[in-house]
Amino acid sequence: MVTKVLFVCLGNICRSPTAHGVLAQKVAQRGLSKRIQVDSAGTSDWHIGSLPDKRTRQVALQRGYDLSDQRGRQVIREDFAVFDYILAMDKQNLNHLQRLAPAGFSGHLGLFLDFLPQQPLREIPDPYHGGPEGFIQVLDLVEAGCDALIEKLLATA
């Protein structure tokens, strides 16, 4: 059984590519690549075809995550027929996804940080217009969230 996970943010160049790269690497390191597949998308069409943001790529690479194979894409209705878990980085993007979701979607649509209930933040802050510390905060939250998500998926499968 394959579980497919889609991370969604606004631009698909900062937060969701980070989660995509981190989860894919953690899954590969644990030999789970055939059981857990991962992708990311943006709710906007602003960065279709773009590499992840340079700051995002640099911070990720410092911890060993290479995001250079990723390109931005926009989430589409058909994604709900493909993915089992669609995880939004913030409430604005979750609202967008809830409006886009077909009525019969039987998968899990929610906030990524719901897998980290002990974390006081419920949303991963948008780092795009801020300083370098925001990108490190994204990576810290994403790494912890991906560890929790993997445990949840293994317990559910």
- What minimum distance in Å lies between the beta carbon of 46 and ligand 4NP? 5
Work out whether 26 is an interface residue with ligand 4NP (CB under 6 A).
no
- What minimum distance in Å lies between the beta carbon of 56 and ligand 4NP? 8
Residues 86-125, interacting with ligand 4NP (CB under 6 A): none
Work out whether 15 is an interface residue with ligand 4NP (CB under 6 A).
yes
Catalytic residue check, 9: yes
Instruction: Decide: 39 and 4 in contact? Cβ < 8 Å.
Output: yes
Instruction: Decide: 48 and 74 in contact? Cβ < 8 Å.
Output: yes
**64/90 Cα distance (integer angstroms):** 25
**69/121 Cα distance (integer angstroms):** 29
Select from 58, 47, 62 the least CA-distant residue to 13: 47
Work out whether 57 is an interface residue with ligand 4NP (CB under 6 A).
no
Instruction: Decide: 47 and 12 in contact? Cβ < 8 Å.
Output: yes
Work out whether 13 is an interface residue with ligand 4NP (CB under 6 A).
yes
Which residue of 12, 25, 40, 70 would you call a contact of ligand 4NP, by CB under 6 A?
12
Which residues share a beta bridge with 33? none
- Name the residue with the smallest CB distance to ligand 4NP: 11
Which residue of 10, 88, 94, 111 would you call a contact of ligand 4NP, by CB under 6 A?
10
